[in-house]
Amino acid sequence: MSKFTEVTAVADSPRSYRKRTPSLTVMLVLSSLLGGIIALGLFTAFRPTPVEAAPARLADLQSSFIAVADQVRPAVVNINTEQLVPRQRGYYLNPWGSEGPLIQPYTRYEKVTSLGSGFIVRPDGVILTNAHVIAGAQTISVTLADDTTVPARVIGALADQDLALLKIDTERDLPTVRLGDADAVQVGSWAVAIGSPFGFTETVTVGVISAKDRVMRQDRGRRVMRDLLQTDAAINSGNSGGPLLNLDGDVIGINQAIFSPSGGNIGIGFAIPVNAQTKAAIDEAINAARQRV
C-alpha cells in the first residue's frame, strides 16, 4: 500500500488517527534529521576551500620542484664538442685578365664548437645524451656539476633513437639519475627540464606534458621520430640530451628538439620517451661496450 493511501485511510478513522500519530511524528523527526545531515554534507562538499589552505598546497608544490632540482642537478652534465669543418674558399689568380678573373678554389678548415647536455646513468661515468649532440665531433669534453671538465669518448650509439652513450674516467662513484616510465605519464602532469641552454649550466625549467605520441620529422623529412613527449617546459639550444623529469625525480624523457619559427623557445618542445624498450636498449649498449673493453 502506498504511503499516500495509508495516510488517507488513517484520516478517515479518528481511532486509527490517534494510534498512528506518534509514528507519524517520529517519521517527521527522522526525516528532518536525515535532511539536515544531507544538507550539511552537500554544504561541506561544495563550500569554497579556505584561503589559508591554498598557500600550503603551493608550498608543497614548490618543495617538490626544489627536491627534484636538488636530487638531479648533480647528475646532469654539460657537453662540449669540437670538430674541424671544411669550408670552400677561393682567391683570384689573375683579377685583371682579358678573359676575366680566374679563381683558384681551396679548402680551409674551421673549428666549430657546440653545446649540449647529458646525464649520468652509471656511477662509473656512463652518460646518456642525444646522438646529434656529438655527431661528427673530433673531441668531446664533459663538465660536471662541480665545474670539473674531463674528456669523454663515445662507447655506444642508438642511431634510430638519436641516443648516444659517453664514458668518462673517474676514480669515484658519480651521482646518477633514475630512469622512469614514460608510458605511465599522463597528459597534464608536471614536467621538469634540466640542462645547459646556451651554456647556462644546471638550468631548471618547469612545465607540463602537453601531449604524447607526437611525430616529428628531422633532416628535412628524411628521418621520422615517433612517440615523442611534447612539453611546454622551456627547452632551448643546449638542452638537447638533458633529462625531462616527473615530480619523483625520475627521467621520463630525453630532451631532443623544439618547434620554433624563430629558433627560440615558444613552448613546444619534444623529448624521447624513456620506457621499458628504451631502458633495455640502453642496457644492451652498455653491456656491449663493456665486452669490447
Among residues 117, 132, 196, 232, the one annotated as catalytic is 132
Among residues 117, 162, 210, 250, the one annotated as catalytic is 162
Give the integer Cα–Cα distance in Å for 139 and 244: 26
Active site residue 162: yes
Residue 168 φ then ψ, to 5°: -120, 150
Give the integer Cα–Cα distance in Å for 226 and 184: 17
Q: In sequence order, what E strands does 72-202 have?
A: 76-92, 103-122, 126-130, 139-143, 149-151, 153-158, 163-167, 178-179, 190-195
The C-alpha cell 646513468 sits at: 121
Q: Whose CA is closest to 244, among 234, 254, 258?
A: 254
Give the integer Cα–Cα distance in Å for 174 and 145: 10
Give the integer Cα–Cα distance in Å for 143 and 76: 9
Active site residue 240: yes
- The set of residues, in sequence order, having a beta carbon less than 8 Å from that of 121 and lying 6+ positions away, is 127, 128, 176, 177, 179, 282
Active site residue 63: no
In the β-sheet with 153-158, what is the strand arrangement from edge to edge?
A: 149-151, 139-143, 76-92, 103-122, 126-130, 163-167, 153-158
The C-alpha cell 621538469 sits at: 192
Among residues 114, 196, 210, 240, the one annotated as catalytic is 240
By annotation, the residues acting in catalysis are 132, 162, 240
